[in-house]
A and B are shown apart, each in its own frame.
Chain A
Amino acid sequence: MKRSILSSIIAGSLLLTFNAQAEQVVKIGTLSDYAPFEYKDASGKLMGMEIELGDAMCKIMKVKCEYVTMDFDALIPALKARKIDAVLAQMSITDERKKVVDFTDLFTLAPVQYVTKTGAGITENPTTLKGKTVGVQSGTTHESYLKTRLPKAKSGIEMKTYQSLDQSWLDLESGRVNAVLSDTTVAYDWIAKTGKSKGFDFAGKPIIDAEIFGDGTGIAVRKGDPLKTSFNMAIKTVLSDGTFAAENKKVFPFTIAPGK
Protein backbone atom coordinates (compact mmCIF):
# COMPACT_ATOMS: atom_id res chain seq x y z
CA MET A 1 0.00 0.00 0.00
CA LYS A 2 2.79 2.37 0.95
CA ARG A 3 4.43 1.79 -2.40
CA SER A 4 1.29 2.40 -4.39
CA ILE A 5 0.62 5.63 -2.51
CA LEU A 6 4.12 6.83 -3.24
CA SER A 7 3.89 5.87 -6.90
CA SER A 8 0.55 7.61 -7.21
CA ILE A 9 2.11 10.75 -5.77
CA ILE A 10 4.88 10.59 -8.33
CA ALA A 11 2.47 9.77 -11.13
CA GLY A 12 0.26 12.66 -10.07
CA SER A 13 3.09 15.12 -10.30
CA LEU A 14 4.22 13.78 -13.65
CA LEU A 15 0.77 14.20 -15.14
CA LEU A 16 1.52 17.83 -15.82
CA THR A 17 2.76 17.17 -19.31
CA PHE A 18 3.14 19.09 -22.49
CA ASN A 19 1.02 17.69 -25.26
CA ALA A 20 2.48 17.38 -28.71
CA GLN A 21 0.28 19.10 -31.25
CA ALA A 22 -0.99 18.01 -34.65
CA GLU A 23 -2.04 14.42 -33.92
CA GLN A 24 -5.06 13.21 -35.79
CA VAL A 25 -6.95 12.60 -32.58
CA VAL A 26 -10.32 14.19 -32.01
CA LYS A 27 -11.22 14.50 -28.35
CA ILE A 28 -14.96 14.24 -27.93
CA GLY A 29 -16.45 15.56 -24.73
CA THR A 30 -19.45 13.64 -23.48
CA LEU A 31 -21.25 12.54 -20.32
CA SER A 32 -20.96 9.38 -18.29
CA ASP A 33 -24.43 9.47 -16.80
CA TYR A 34 -26.95 10.11 -19.54
CA ALA A 35 -28.40 6.73 -20.46
CA PRO A 36 -29.34 5.66 -23.04
CA PHE A 37 -27.25 8.21 -25.00
CA GLU A 38 -24.01 7.83 -23.08
CA TYR A 39 -23.32 5.85 -19.92
CA LYS A 40 -20.84 3.41 -18.48
CA ASP A 41 -21.73 -0.22 -18.00
CA ALA A 42 -20.69 -2.40 -15.06
CA SER A 43 -17.25 -2.98 -16.59
CA GLY A 44 -16.68 0.77 -16.90
CA LYS A 45 -17.02 0.76 -20.68
CA LEU A 46 -18.52 3.88 -22.21
CA MET A 47 -21.51 3.02 -24.36
CA GLY A 48 -24.85 4.27 -25.61
CA MET A 49 -26.51 5.50 -28.76
CA GLU A 50 -24.36 8.60 -29.23
CA ILE A 51 -21.17 6.66 -28.53
CA GLU A 52 -22.05 4.08 -31.21
CA LEU A 53 -22.87 6.87 -33.66
CA GLY A 54 -19.78 8.81 -32.65
CA ASP A 55 -17.61 5.76 -33.41
CA ALA A 56 -19.32 5.36 -36.78
CA MET A 57 -18.79 9.02 -37.64
CA CYS A 58 -15.13 8.95 -36.65
CA LYS A 59 -14.65 5.98 -38.95
CA ILE A 60 -16.27 7.96 -41.78
CA MET A 61 -14.08 10.97 -40.99
CA LYS A 62 -11.02 8.70 -40.80
CA VAL A 63 -9.87 10.12 -37.46
CA LYS A 64 -9.10 8.52 -34.14
CA CYS A 65 -11.62 9.54 -31.51
CA GLU A 66 -11.09 9.69 -27.79
CA TYR A 67 -13.99 10.26 -25.42
CA VAL A 68 -13.58 12.49 -22.40
CA THR A 69 -16.40 12.41 -19.88
CA MET A 70 -17.33 15.25 -17.55
CA ASP A 71 -20.34 17.09 -16.14
CA PHE A 72 -22.64 18.84 -18.61
CA ASP A 73 -21.83 22.26 -17.12
CA ALA A 74 -18.12 21.70 -17.78
CA LEU A 75 -18.42 20.79 -21.47
CA ILE A 76 -18.41 24.25 -23.07
CA PRO A 77 -15.66 25.60 -20.78
CA ALA A 78 -13.60 22.50 -21.63
CA LEU A 79 -14.18 23.04 -25.34
CA LYS A 80 -13.02 26.65 -25.08
CA ALA A 81 -10.03 25.65 -22.96
CA ARG A 82 -9.08 23.16 -25.73
CA LYS A 83 -9.38 20.19 -23.40
CA ILE A 84 -11.80 18.68 -25.92
CA ASP A 85 -12.43 19.35 -29.60
CA ALA A 86 -16.12 18.53 -29.90
CA VAL A 87 -19.17 18.02 -27.70
CA LEU A 88 -21.42 15.05 -28.40
CA ALA A 89 -23.79 15.08 -25.47
CA GLN A 90 -27.32 15.81 -26.63
CA MET A 91 -26.51 19.51 -26.64
CA SER A 92 -29.39 21.51 -28.10
CA ILE A 93 -28.50 24.05 -30.76
CA THR A 94 -29.54 27.40 -29.30
CA ASP A 95 -28.80 31.03 -30.15
CA GLU A 96 -27.29 31.55 -26.73
CA ARG A 97 -24.81 28.71 -27.14
CA LYS A 98 -24.09 29.76 -30.74
CA LYS A 99 -22.56 32.94 -29.35
CA VAL A 100 -19.69 30.92 -27.86
CA VAL A 101 -19.43 27.75 -29.97
CA ASP A 102 -20.19 26.54 -33.49
CA PHE A 103 -22.70 23.78 -34.09
CA THR A 104 -22.93 21.18 -36.83
CA ASP A 105 -26.15 20.57 -38.71
CA LEU A 106 -29.04 19.05 -36.79
CA PHE A 107 -28.02 15.65 -35.40
CA THR A 108 -31.03 14.55 -33.37
CA LEU A 109 -34.40 15.97 -32.47
CA ALA A 110 -34.84 16.69 -28.79
CA PRO A 111 -38.50 16.97 -27.89
CA VAL A 112 -39.17 18.41 -24.44
CA GLN A 113 -41.96 17.28 -22.15
CA TYR A 114 -43.17 17.39 -18.56
CA VAL A 115 -43.21 14.20 -16.50
CA THR A 116 -45.63 14.01 -13.58
CA LYS A 117 -47.56 11.58 -11.44
CA THR A 118 -50.29 10.16 -13.65
CA GLY A 119 -53.55 12.03 -13.23
CA ALA A 120 -51.93 15.11 -11.67
CA GLY A 121 -53.83 17.26 -14.14
CA ILE A 122 -50.70 18.93 -15.48
CA THR A 123 -50.28 19.52 -19.23
CA GLU A 124 -47.97 21.57 -21.44
CA ASN A 125 -50.26 24.53 -20.70
CA PRO A 126 -48.49 26.71 -18.07
CA THR A 127 -51.72 27.57 -16.26
CA THR A 128 -52.00 23.96 -15.08
CA LEU A 129 -48.68 24.44 -13.27
CA LYS A 130 -49.60 27.56 -11.31
CA GLY A 131 -48.42 27.22 -7.70
CA LYS A 132 -46.55 24.01 -8.52
CA THR A 133 -42.84 23.25 -8.48
CA VAL A 134 -40.93 22.06 -11.53
CA GLY A 135 -37.53 20.37 -11.41
CA VAL A 136 -34.89 20.86 -14.13
CA GLN A 137 -31.23 20.06 -14.64
CA SER A 138 -28.98 23.12 -14.30
CA GLY A 139 -27.36 24.54 -17.42
CA THR A 140 -29.97 23.00 -19.70
CA THR A 141 -32.40 24.60 -22.13
CA HIS A 142 -35.18 23.43 -19.81
CA GLU A 143 -33.86 25.73 -17.14
CA SER A 144 -33.70 28.72 -19.49
CA TYR A 145 -37.23 27.96 -20.73
CA LEU A 146 -38.65 28.25 -17.22
CA LYS A 147 -36.50 31.28 -16.43
CA THR A 148 -37.36 33.33 -19.51
CA ARG A 149 -40.80 32.13 -20.54
CA LEU A 150 -42.36 31.34 -17.19
CA PRO A 151 -40.66 33.46 -14.51
CA LYS A 152 -42.14 32.91 -11.08
CA ALA A 153 -43.47 36.45 -10.73
CA LYS A 154 -45.59 36.03 -13.86
CA SER A 155 -46.52 32.37 -13.92
CA GLY A 156 -46.51 31.37 -10.27
CA ILE A 157 -44.34 28.38 -11.11
CA GLU A 158 -41.52 27.55 -8.70
CA MET A 159 -38.35 26.18 -10.28
CA LYS A 160 -35.84 23.85 -8.66
CA THR A 161 -32.54 23.12 -10.39
CA TYR A 162 -30.51 19.96 -9.97
CA GLN A 163 -26.95 19.02 -10.79
CA SER A 164 -28.13 15.84 -12.47
CA LEU A 165 -31.43 14.65 -13.81
CA ASP A 166 -31.44 11.70 -11.38
CA GLN A 167 -31.77 14.02 -8.46
CA SER A 168 -34.83 15.57 -10.03
CA TRP A 169 -36.38 12.11 -10.51
CA LEU A 170 -35.75 11.38 -6.83
CA ASP A 171 -37.48 14.59 -5.82
CA LEU A 172 -40.35 13.87 -8.19
CA GLU A 173 -40.80 10.51 -6.46
CA SER A 174 -40.65 12.06 -3.01
CA GLY A 175 -43.16 14.74 -4.06
CA ARG A 176 -40.89 17.76 -3.55
CA VAL A 177 -41.47 18.73 -7.17
CA ASN A 178 -44.75 18.26 -8.99
CA ALA A 179 -43.22 17.90 -12.43
CA VAL A 180 -39.88 17.46 -14.12
CA LEU A 181 -39.15 19.18 -17.41
CA SER A 182 -36.63 17.25 -19.49
CA ASP A 183 -35.93 15.77 -22.88
CA THR A 184 -38.54 13.19 -23.87
CA THR A 185 -35.73 10.77 -24.73
CA VAL A 186 -34.01 10.41 -21.35
CA ALA A 187 -37.33 10.74 -19.59
CA TYR A 188 -38.54 7.77 -21.62
CA ASP A 189 -35.58 5.75 -20.32
CA TRP A 190 -36.49 6.56 -16.71
CA ILE A 191 -40.21 5.98 -17.20
CA ALA A 192 -39.60 2.65 -18.92
CA LYS A 193 -37.12 1.41 -16.31
CA THR A 194 -38.73 2.58 -13.10
CA GLY A 195 -41.10 5.56 -13.36
CA LYS A 196 -44.04 3.77 -14.91
CA SER A 197 -44.19 1.13 -12.20
CA LYS A 198 -44.27 3.91 -9.59
CA GLY A 199 -47.11 5.72 -11.36
CA PHE A 200 -45.31 8.41 -13.31
CA ASP A 201 -45.72 9.26 -16.99
CA PHE A 202 -45.48 12.02 -19.58
CA ALA A 203 -47.93 14.88 -19.10
CA GLY A 204 -49.36 16.75 -22.02
CA LYS A 205 -47.74 17.24 -25.42
CA PRO A 206 -44.13 18.07 -26.18
CA ILE A 207 -43.40 21.80 -25.85
CA ILE A 208 -42.53 23.63 -29.05
CA ASP A 209 -40.32 26.68 -28.58
CA ALA A 210 -37.67 26.76 -31.29
CA GLU A 211 -36.14 29.97 -29.96
CA ILE A 212 -35.21 28.41 -26.63
CA PHE A 213 -35.05 24.69 -27.28
CA GLY A 214 -33.74 25.03 -30.79
CA ASP A 215 -34.78 22.49 -33.37
CA GLY A 216 -32.74 19.73 -31.79
CA THR A 217 -29.21 18.80 -30.85
CA GLY A 218 -25.96 19.08 -32.76
CA ILE A 219 -22.27 18.53 -32.22
CA ALA A 220 -20.54 21.59 -30.81
CA VAL A 221 -17.04 22.60 -31.91
CA ARG A 222 -14.87 25.66 -31.29
CA LYS A 223 -15.73 28.73 -33.35
CA GLY A 224 -14.23 28.51 -36.84
CA ASP A 225 -12.96 24.96 -36.40
CA PRO A 226 -12.97 23.12 -39.78
CA LEU A 227 -13.94 20.00 -37.81
CA LYS A 228 -17.50 21.22 -38.27
CA THR A 229 -17.46 20.48 -42.01
CA SER A 230 -16.21 16.93 -41.55
CA PHE A 231 -18.77 16.26 -38.83
CA ASN A 232 -21.53 17.58 -41.11
CA MET A 233 -20.45 15.16 -43.79
CA ALA A 234 -20.38 12.30 -41.29
CA ILE A 235 -23.81 13.19 -39.89
CA LYS A 236 -25.26 13.17 -43.41
CA THR A 237 -23.77 9.73 -44.00
CA VAL A 238 -25.02 8.04 -40.80
CA LEU A 239 -28.47 9.51 -41.34
CA SER A 240 -28.74 8.26 -44.92
CA ASP A 241 -27.03 4.84 -44.67
CA GLY A 242 -29.33 3.51 -41.94
CA THR A 243 -26.76 3.53 -39.10
CA PHE A 244 -28.71 6.18 -37.22
CA ALA A 245 -32.05 4.43 -37.64
CA ALA A 246 -30.59 1.12 -36.40
CA GLU A 247 -29.12 2.68 -33.24
CA ASN A 248 -32.30 4.70 -32.68
CA LYS A 249 -34.43 1.58 -32.79
CA LYS A 250 -32.33 -0.12 -30.10
CA VAL A 251 -33.26 2.46 -27.47
CA PHE A 252 -36.47 4.29 -28.43
CA PRO A 253 -39.74 3.17 -30.01
CA PHE A 254 -39.97 6.63 -31.63
CA THR A 255 -37.55 8.27 -34.06
CA ILE A 256 -35.37 11.22 -33.16
CA ALA A 257 -33.81 11.56 -36.61
CA PRO A 258 -34.11 15.16 -37.85
CA GLY A 259 -36.83 15.52 -40.52
CA LYS A 260 -35.91 15.85 -44.16
Chain B
Amino acid sequence: MIFYPIAALCIALALAVVLNKNPINSAMSLIGMMLGLAAIFAFLQAHFIAILQIIIYAGAIMVLFMFVIMLLNLKEDAGSWMARDKNKLLNGLTAVMLVGGLYKIIDVLTQTDFKAAPAVQDSFGTVARIGEALFTDFVLPFEVASILLLAAMVGVVVLAKSKLD
Protein backbone atom coordinates (compact mmCIF):
# COMPACT_ATOMS: atom_id res chain seq x y z
CA MET B 1 0.00 0.00 0.00
CA ILE B 2 2.99 2.24 0.17
CA PHE B 3 3.01 2.19 -3.62
CA TYR B 4 0.37 4.94 -3.81
CA PRO B 5 2.24 7.77 -2.04
CA ILE B 6 5.43 7.00 -3.95
CA ALA B 7 3.54 6.83 -7.24
CA ALA B 8 1.91 10.18 -6.50
CA LEU B 9 5.34 11.61 -5.69
CA CYS B 10 6.75 10.31 -8.99
CA ILE B 11 3.87 11.85 -10.94
CA ALA B 12 4.34 15.17 -9.14
CA LEU B 13 8.08 15.13 -9.90
CA ALA B 14 7.44 14.28 -13.57
CA LEU B 15 5.10 17.27 -13.78
CA ALA B 16 7.82 19.36 -12.17
CA VAL B 17 10.26 18.24 -14.89
CA VAL B 18 7.89 19.29 -17.65
CA LEU B 19 6.60 22.54 -16.17
CA ASN B 20 9.80 24.06 -14.79
CA LYS B 21 11.51 27.03 -16.38
CA ASN B 22 14.99 26.32 -15.06
CA PRO B 23 16.64 23.24 -16.64
CA ILE B 24 18.62 22.50 -13.46
CA ASN B 25 15.36 22.23 -11.49
CA SER B 26 13.99 19.91 -14.18
CA ALA B 27 17.09 17.70 -13.94
CA MET B 28 16.88 17.46 -10.15
CA SER B 29 13.19 16.59 -10.33
CA LEU B 30 13.99 13.90 -12.87
CA ILE B 31 16.62 12.41 -10.54
CA GLY B 32 14.01 12.32 -7.77
CA MET B 33 11.51 10.62 -10.07
CA MET B 34 14.04 7.97 -11.06
CA LEU B 35 14.84 7.25 -7.41
CA GLY B 36 11.12 6.91 -6.69
CA LEU B 37 10.79 4.50 -9.60
CA ALA B 38 13.72 2.48 -8.20
CA ALA B 39 11.78 2.20 -4.93
CA ILE B 40 8.72 0.94 -6.83
CA PHE B 41 10.87 -1.63 -8.63
CA ALA B 42 12.11 -2.80 -5.23
CA PHE B 43 8.50 -3.15 -4.01
CA LEU B 44 7.83 -5.32 -7.05
CA GLN B 45 10.75 -7.53 -5.90
CA ALA B 46 12.76 -6.74 -9.04
CA HIS B 47 15.90 -5.96 -7.08
CA PHE B 48 18.36 -6.22 -9.95
CA ILE B 49 16.45 -3.73 -12.06
CA ALA B 50 16.05 -1.39 -9.09
CA ILE B 51 19.80 -1.25 -8.52
CA LEU B 52 20.43 -0.88 -12.24
CA GLN B 53 17.97 2.01 -12.33
CA ILE B 54 19.95 3.86 -9.68
CA ILE B 55 23.35 3.08 -11.17
CA ILE B 56 22.58 3.68 -14.84
CA TYR B 57 19.81 6.27 -14.82
CA ALA B 58 20.32 8.38 -11.72
CA GLY B 59 24.03 7.75 -11.55
CA ALA B 60 25.24 8.07 -15.13
CA ILE B 61 22.59 9.46 -17.46
CA MET B 62 21.46 12.28 -15.17
CA VAL B 63 25.06 13.19 -14.35
CA LEU B 64 25.62 13.51 -18.11
CA PHE B 65 22.61 15.83 -18.29
CA MET B 66 24.02 17.94 -15.48
CA PHE B 67 27.40 18.12 -17.21
CA VAL B 68 25.83 19.43 -20.39
CA ILE B 69 23.52 21.89 -18.62
CA MET B 70 26.45 23.35 -16.70
CA LEU B 71 28.76 23.24 -19.73
CA LEU B 72 26.29 25.23 -21.82
CA ASN B 73 25.60 27.45 -18.80
CA LEU B 74 21.85 27.38 -19.32
CA LYS B 75 19.81 29.86 -17.34
CA GLU B 76 16.08 30.04 -16.95
CA ASP B 77 14.04 29.93 -20.13
CA ALA B 78 13.49 33.53 -21.14
CA GLY B 79 10.00 34.49 -22.17
CA SER B 80 7.37 31.90 -22.80
CA TRP B 81 8.49 28.32 -22.30
CA MET B 82 5.66 26.69 -24.19
CA ALA B 83 5.25 26.25 -27.92
CA ARG B 84 3.96 29.30 -29.65
CA ASP B 85 0.24 29.31 -30.08
CA LYS B 86 0.30 29.66 -33.85
CA ASN B 87 0.36 25.88 -34.32
CA LYS B 88 -3.27 25.03 -33.73
CA LEU B 89 -2.89 21.51 -35.07
CA LEU B 90 -0.24 20.69 -32.48
CA ASN B 91 -2.38 22.06 -29.68
CA GLY B 92 -5.39 20.15 -30.90
CA LEU B 93 -3.47 16.87 -31.17
CA THR B 94 -2.04 17.34 -27.68
CA ALA B 95 -5.46 18.00 -26.24
CA VAL B 96 -6.97 14.98 -28.01
CA MET B 97 -4.16 12.76 -26.74
CA LEU B 98 -4.52 13.92 -23.16
CA VAL B 99 -8.30 13.58 -23.14
CA GLY B 100 -8.11 10.17 -24.77
CA GLY B 101 -5.55 9.02 -22.23
CA LEU B 102 -7.70 10.23 -19.35
CA TYR B 103 -10.76 8.49 -20.75
CA LYS B 104 -8.86 5.23 -21.10
CA ILE B 105 -7.53 5.51 -17.54
CA ILE B 106 -11.02 6.01 -16.12
CA ASP B 107 -12.32 3.20 -18.28
CA VAL B 108 -9.69 0.81 -16.95
CA LEU B 109 -10.25 1.93 -13.36
CA THR B 110 -13.91 0.93 -13.49
CA GLN B 111 -13.07 -2.64 -14.43
CA THR B 112 -11.38 -5.02 -12.01
CA ASP B 113 -9.68 -7.73 -14.00
CA PHE B 114 -6.46 -8.42 -12.15
CA LYS B 115 -6.46 -9.43 -8.54
CA ALA B 116 -3.64 -9.21 -6.06
CA ALA B 117 -0.19 -10.36 -7.01
CA PRO B 118 0.30 -14.12 -6.90
CA ALA B 119 3.23 -15.39 -4.91
CA VAL B 120 6.40 -15.68 -6.94
CA GLN B 121 9.42 -17.86 -6.42
CA ASP B 122 12.15 -16.68 -4.08
CA SER B 123 14.51 -16.29 -7.00
CA PHE B 124 12.37 -13.69 -8.79
CA GLY B 125 14.37 -10.62 -9.70
CA THR B 126 17.67 -11.93 -8.36
CA VAL B 127 20.89 -11.49 -10.28
CA ALA B 128 21.31 -15.28 -10.65
CA ARG B 129 18.00 -15.86 -12.38
CA ILE B 130 18.24 -12.85 -14.67
CA GLY B 131 21.87 -13.63 -15.48
CA GLU B 132 20.99 -17.19 -16.38
CA ALA B 133 18.24 -16.02 -18.74
CA LEU B 134 20.45 -13.29 -20.15
CA PHE B 135 23.24 -15.67 -21.12
CA THR B 136 21.11 -18.56 -22.39
CA ASP B 137 17.87 -17.30 -23.94
CA PHE B 138 18.85 -13.69 -24.58
CA VAL B 139 22.52 -13.89 -25.46
CA LEU B 140 21.97 -12.37 -28.91
CA PRO B 141 20.35 -9.13 -27.65
CA PHE B 142 23.10 -8.96 -25.05
CA GLU B 143 25.86 -9.08 -27.66
CA VAL B 144 24.03 -6.68 -29.95
CA ALA B 145 23.68 -4.27 -27.02
CA SER B 146 27.43 -4.30 -26.53
CA ILE B 147 27.95 -3.46 -30.21
CA LEU B 148 25.38 -0.69 -29.87
CA LEU B 149 27.24 0.81 -26.93
CA LEU B 150 30.53 0.64 -28.82
CA ALA B 151 28.97 2.43 -31.79
CA ALA B 152 27.52 5.07 -29.46
CA MET B 153 30.89 5.67 -27.84
CA VAL B 154 32.65 6.09 -31.19
CA GLY B 155 29.87 8.37 -32.41
CA VAL B 156 30.03 10.59 -29.34
CA VAL B 157 33.80 11.03 -29.58
CA VAL B 158 33.53 11.93 -33.26
CA LEU B 159 30.62 14.33 -32.69
CA ALA B 160 32.07 16.17 -29.74
CA LYS B 161 35.55 16.71 -31.08
CA SER B 162 36.61 20.16 -32.15
CA LYS B 163 37.32 20.76 -35.81
CA LEU B 164 39.89 18.40 -37.28
CA ASP B 165 42.67 20.45 -38.81
- Do the two chains belong together in a single complex? no
Binding site for A on B (CB under 8 A): none
Binding site for B on A (CB under 8 A): none
